[in-house]
Amino acid sequence: WLRLKVQDDGRGWNMKKSGPGQGMLMMQDYAEVAGGSCSFKSAPGKGTEVVAEVPFIHA
């Protein structure tokens, strides 16, 4: 598996009020099509974390 984690210490957002944007939903779709997953965590003043995992296939 290939695991990519991106995290920042920015302003974050309230996911219960606004949810993920269109770009994040597309990231989830791409990961699922590849047989993996993509998740998001964020909170106001706490930054944001994105974790994507997809199968790693040796060529």
Q: Which domains does the chain have, with CATH numbers?
A: 2-54 (3.30.565.10)
pLDDT value, residue 9: 97
pLDDT value, residue 27: 96
Cβ-based neighbours of 33, under 8 Å, separated by 6 or more: none
pLDDT digits (tens, 9 = 90+) for 10-44: 999 998 888 778 999 999 999 999 999 999 999 99
pLDDT value, residue 32: 97
Contact status, residue 3 vs residue 24, Cβ threshold 8 Å: no
Reported confidence tier of residue 59, pLDDT bands at 50, 70, 90: confident
Of residues 56 and 58, more confidence is placed in 56
pLDDT value, residue 11: 95
